[in-house]
Structure 1
């Protein structure tokens, strides 16, 4: 719901430039996901952020700049993320449970769904940011996961195989498919999240448990 005119003074409370930009980006994420990039104007973004048109232009020169800043922020947040695999000496069931609890907590959050939907719809607009995400984020998460998996193979609690050779993409696949299904079905995926997580757990245990 858009802010009422009477609410404008509260919305325009003093904030630092950085804090104000964060508010604009938060509003932009909601609008880009709900209405698509092309359907949203700078005036609309200003209104949703509780600013005048001049106010939003004081922070961003264009809608394109806001979009770039939004993806840059997302990339930085993911760069700071260390992955879902625990780096402690656990049993295989404990490791799988912690991994899946973290993974599904991330993928079921509204923020993750919004970012994923935005990237699917608009990533062609900024191919250089997508490539940067692949180089700086996905590669780092993959390498860290492989190091943890290899250490647990050496500990004797994980059986090496095709899954351990490509753990990051293959172990992630069921959750990514669920996220895509949930988006395409508008929140009504073919399998409930709890059921999927349980099946995912059984799959990982069967493929990783030493024989």
Structure 2
């Protein structure tokens, strides 16, 4: 008598988990083939889905690419984190800003997605424009508004940095470019050197001379 074969029970994933699996598969596909040569069919296959199953979550390859940018390249440091906690100084807030920003920079998914952003921007301009409008621009505005409050409360001195707060993040972007281009031990050393120089720069230029270590 032959032994009956047991049917493998299909595991149903939640829409959120399924979307995450699609995005992980898309990052592998885009990284290997580039945006132009990547196919929805292969992304679906990597995610364990049919093409129709993938379209139940995303409408197009551009939609997947935009969702990937939105998830991975979301600014790690929220504006509210500049609010000083009880008993801490602006120097502590600067440490948080530097540590969070550079730790995110070195994550493999961030490096791979930044490489895609640099290399494939001309092939998906609408997706990148929407990502910038929905993620980057609101972040810039919220940071600028929070810094204006810090200046008004006497925690930071008014300067070119506080009037144009994008300049505070600029060294991080330069470090990201260095690491994406090199991505070796030399690149990692450069990032660490830039990280500490960036920290020292903000220690020197952001605090208001008259501010106390623990402002009200």
Query: What range is the shorter-chain TM-score in?
Result: 0.7 to 0.9
| Count of residues in Structure 1 that have an aligned counterpart in Structure 2 | 198
Contact 1:84-1:99 at 8 Å conserved across structures? no
TM-score by length of 2: 0.76
1:177 aligned partner: 174
Cα deviation digits, residues 126-185 of structure 1 (max 9, x gap): 322222223222221111111221121122221111011111x21111111111111111
Larger Rg: 2
1:13 Cα shift? 3.6
1:30 aligned partner: 28
Structure 1 SS opposite 2:61: helix
Q: Which has the higher contact order (CA 8 A, sep 6+)?
A: 2
1:144 aligned partner: 142
1:209 Cα shift? 2.9
Task: Tell me which stretches of 4 or more aligned residues in structure 1 moved more than 4 Å.
Answer: 9-12, 76-82
- Cα 1:76–1:30 shift into 2, 3 Å: closer
Contact 1:79-1:136 at 8 Å conserved across structures? no
Over the aligned positions, Cα root-mean-square deviation in angstroms equals: 3.1
Unaligned runs of 5+ in 1: 1-8
Does residue 1:14 correspond to 2:12, yes or no?
Answer: yes
Cα deviation digits, residues 14-52 of structure 1 (max 9, x gap): 33555434322211112202331234344433442234x
1:100 Cα shift? 0.8
- Cα 1:82–1:185 shift into 2, 3 Å: closer
Unaligned runs of 5+ in 2: 1-6, 210-216
2:4 aligned partner: none
1:12 Cα shift? 6.4
> Quick one: which of 199, 202, 205 aligns to 1:201?
199
TM-score by length of 1: 0.77
